[in-house]
Structure 1
């Protein structure tokens, strides 16, 4: 088990189960009826405890160990750090509304996610305090993964996407006659995600798009417009507005990023050993 779980492994089961372990839920409540026959809250609580209780309790115990160790080390996680991680999560889901939908679907809340982020970061910081990483280790990792840190060749491109060749040829003729590419994209492109932005696709690296599309796009000079390019999806007319050449990474420029990657790997490797050692140092009594 690794600790770099963030949202995905907030719990393998809904966060509310942790509350069940402490006896939340009124015994007189019911959660459903079948032909008027009640299924009681206590029945649900018992079923959830039987199925998930041990795992959730172990999680709570492990979290408590982390918190006690953090107190010893004087380690805390700031609200700003938690918010920054949460903002990244929002961005990865495409916005607050999309994230909220995911939370609702999993029975989670914004507050529970932030608490998970806090525990994730606290665990990471506590274990990191006992890990030494040498410059030699960082240099070796960098040399073995240098391509991951260099600047890939990129193009900034726009396209007009058509589903039939005849329309594509018609639009191509309009471009050659001097009509505006962006306006034609708005009028003709069937790629609704980009058409209103004049067909703008942003930065494209190799391996992101269809092979035929990329071959044509990377062959164009800055400011040039392609002819009709057929791909597996349909027909494109491509305009390249900028080109970014490939650039090899320099270790000193990315040293901090390399350190974070190596540290994350070391933490994941050592987490279970660290946790087992700490469990032996604390008196843990399960009722």
Structure 2
């Protein structure tokens, strides 16, 4: 899988000497995973399917005028149906490709990719962690199948793999990371009021949506993804505070660099891992092979091969 990590892999600047470290491509991973995020709607939509074939059950009303389940479902299909179906089709296409080409993906490979995603420090992976772990593992598995199919005929010399590992070994010493949420307010007094509400049993996620002035994270219930202590792409106060926050607890008010104040919560700690050369050899070989491909390729490239048809007919 492809990652960009400027802190871990700086290029050679005018004052430096030596060979620049390689930057791995992020586009194939991000395109696929961002598309697949729509799959989170699948379970919800399935749950909404009514027992009444007519779908005339009232789900809301305004001034006595009802909104039916059928209307609701039609609106959801219009907004999210294409992306959700694309998710399902592409997962099935990759499963079929794995069988066709005899490709296997093991748990250790998935663990490595997830660990590297958690430790990414360019901020590009944060929103990928709003879904549950099993769904994320399914998506990573599908992406690995795609990459293995694309690179199955590309030969990479062992010396090139070893050289890359030696130059970038620190990438595979994954530090502890903390899945974090935050509520940003304008003052320390407002932050204390937020803490008081949390102490009285209010939901952190609900308060983030209601009170946070950082609308991009507030809409996600305050989710900012995994934070690594000392991470430079997030406010220093937050990066330095995550280790002291108990799981499902919250911090004291944190003064941010922009003069606002934050309260953070840690929902999960992912233990750091160190991967040996044997663990990452296949990963590096695949990354180097992907660099040789002329362009990014998505699962749709295999639709014709596996006689794929779908509702939208494109």
Q: TM-score range by the shorter chain?
A: 0.3 to 0.5
Instruction: From the two aligned structures, give the one with the greater helix fraction.
Output: 1
Rg larger in structure: 1
TM-score (norm 2): 0.41
